[in-house]
A = this chain, B = another copy of it.
Amino acid sequence: MSLNDIMFLVKDMEKVIVGVDIGGTSIKMGLFSMEGTLLEKWNIPTNTEEQGKWILKEIYESIKEHTAGYKLHGIGFGVPAPVKDNVVLNGVNLGWINKNVKEEFLALLKDDSVFIRVSNDANVATAGEFYAGVAKGYQNVIMITLGTGIGGGVMINSHIFDGMNGVAGEIGHIVVDFEHQFQCNCGKKGCLETVASATGIVRLAKYHLEHSKEPSVLRDMHYMSAKKVIDAAKENDFIAVEVMKEVANYLAYLMGVMTNTLNPDIFVIGGGVSNAGDYLIDLIKVSYYDYVRPFIKETNFAIASLGNDAGIYGAFYMVAPR
């Protein structure tokens, strides 16, 4: 085969993009066509040994295998840590401190023409919902992920917004509860995470059960979960309803503050707690307008639609041509 033949082959190879969503236990990857069609998705375990020094190498090997026969256009990375200018600042879960993921990955690829973009996982998931999920068509999006912890992502004018220290969207640690003041993992008291995450909902339920004599189906449970509290609330269990009203009020307050600061087009709620669906959104709306009137008459609220795939879609979006 002549050099010309080889050049022709390379030119003709289909270009693809890989979206990488790095989690604490597994790394999810998606292979996309340039137009954004998800061709394949797969996982590898997260190897956190030796300060995560093998993670990028293992991602590289896996991508090489899955993109054989394609021309790689770009790779987007979502990382569970603050990220600024493609540098992971303080990735305690992975052992990555001030790690320049872009540079290190380009060195592995030995190909500077591949577009690399790295951002915080919650921001990347927000971009996913913006690109392919419920926030499609909106320019300014705030996503709140209510899982075991609480994450947040901010998109401004259709771009992921990282902030000065890559900390934009650290909304789980905004203090919203001045009453119970439960201790948070971060060292502070009364953070949103202590009262509106899945664990926060259980904590609040236990608190209400202790401080009330009302009967409740929650009293007889061996193992309490946020899902059980939400299900009981939907069945009008008095205590469970009180808990969910309180949770919704904290969320409404925070969304109100964010609205008066940024006036976003839409709030997207993701994570396990978002399975509460419209029930949760309706409860939030009850108090939200009290916090933002008379300036705001209407804001959009939606439950995230991509689930665990939001990260790979968002990672694709970061490096896709526009």
Contacts and interface: CB of A to CB of B under 8 A. Distances in A.
Contacts of A178: 178
A181 B295 CA distance: 19
A101 to B, nearest CB: 19
A215 B314 CA distance: 61
A250 to B, nearest CB: 12
A143 to B, nearest CB: 12
Contact of A263 (B170, B188, B265): B170
Contact of A169 (B157, B261, B265): B261
Given A156-B156, A186-B294, A294-B187, A261 B171 contact: yes
A45 to B, nearest CB: 28
B261 A188 contact: no
B262 A154 contact: yes
Nearest to A152: B261
Contacts of A263: 162-168, 170
Nearest to A173: B260
Interface string A247-268: 0000001101111111111000
Name the prevailing secondary structure of the A interface residues.
loop
B264 A175 contact: no
Contact of A264 (B142, B152, B163, B264): B163
B256 A161 contact: no
A140 B154 contact: no
A231 B161 CA distance: 40
Given A156-B161, A175-B256, A168 B293 contact: no
Given A167-B259, A168-B263, 19 more contacts: A154-B262, A156-B156, A162-B263, A163-B263, A163-B264, A165-B263, A165-B297, A167-B263, A167-B295, A167-B296, A169-B261, A170-B263, A171-B260, A174-B257, A175-B256, A186-B293, A257-B257, A257-B261, A261-B261
Interface of A: 82, 140, 142, 152, 154, 156-157, 159, 161-171, 173-175, 178, 186-188, 253-254, 256-265, 290-291, 293-297, 299
Instruction: Please provide the 8 A-B residue pairs with the shortest distance between their CB atoms, ordered closest to farther.
Output: A163-B263, A168-B263, A167-B263, A164-B265, A170-B260, A174-B260, A167-B295, A174-B257
